[in-house]
Amino acid sequence: MARRPATATGPLPTVIALHAAAQTSESFRGYFGLEATAAKEGFVAVYPQGIGRVWNDGRPAAMRLKAVLTPGDDVPFLIALVNKLVAEGIADPTRIYLAGISNGGFMVERMACEYPELFAAYGVIMATAPANYREECRPARPVPIMFIHGTADSVIGWNGFWTPVGATLSATDSADLYARLNGCAASDLIDLPDREPLDATSVSVQRWTQCNG
């Protein structure tokens, strides 16, 4: 499912957004809500559907389970999707971005590790790094990547967690892992202004600098 700004022409920047486990692309589209921003900023929003409403996301047991329940590899599917969007003149091949939440976020990390050159940048939301990536994630080039995570997340815990489908690192260790892989030498932490003090949330941004590439 692709949503293109009504007045746009020619290949455009494109965001491919991956749903969480058990979601459909349509329900995720309503939840994620990229259309208004896409229309304003002039990019295409694409919502692919994982077979069986799940992605084989790089956690060892999760990949084995999906292989039994819904055979098929999502990596070639996403590569073919990118090629189709470019061939049809929809996507600018130099400005295609991959984002995902939860199970979709883990899938984003798998693509970042295995195909770092395929997308211009990667966005991981409500997901941390599989613990096995400390040994197995060796991207061939520096990976522009962003993590968005909540300290009160009760599903994908901020401090990491273990489930039968695989252990994960904490949110901070996940970001640190990619900072090391990218050869980053420094970082700074910024607390953003609390514009809604009554909503019991606040946002801090940690940015790594002096990286390779």
pLDDT tens digits, one per residue of 81-139: 999 999 999 999 999 999 999 999 999 999 999 999 999 999 999 999 999 899 999 99
Between 83 and 4, residue with greater pLDDT: 83
State the pLDDT at residue 65: 52
Helix (H) or strand (E) segment spanning residue 49: none
DSSP 152-177: T-SSS-TT----TT--B--HHHHHHH
Work out the average pLDDT over 190-200.
94
Average pLDDT over residues 65-70: 51
Name the percent of the chain lying above pLDDT 70. Answer: 91
Residue 29 pLDDT exceeds 80: yes
> Which CA distances in Å does 122 have to 33, 75, 190?
18, 15, 21
Q: What is the mean pLDDT of residues 56-80?
A: 70
Residue 19 pLDDT > 60, yes or no?
yes
pLDDT at 158: 96
**Average pLDDT for the chain:** 90
Q: Which CATH number fits domain 2-209: 3.40.50.1820, 3.40.50.300, 3.40.50.720, 1.10.10.10?
A: 3.40.50.1820
Alpha-carbon distances, residue 40 vs 2, 16, 18, 65, 107 (angstroms) = 16, 17, 21, 40, 28
Task: Please give the radius of gyration of the chain, using alpha carbons only, rounded to the nearest integer.
Answer: 17
The pTM for the full model equals 0.91
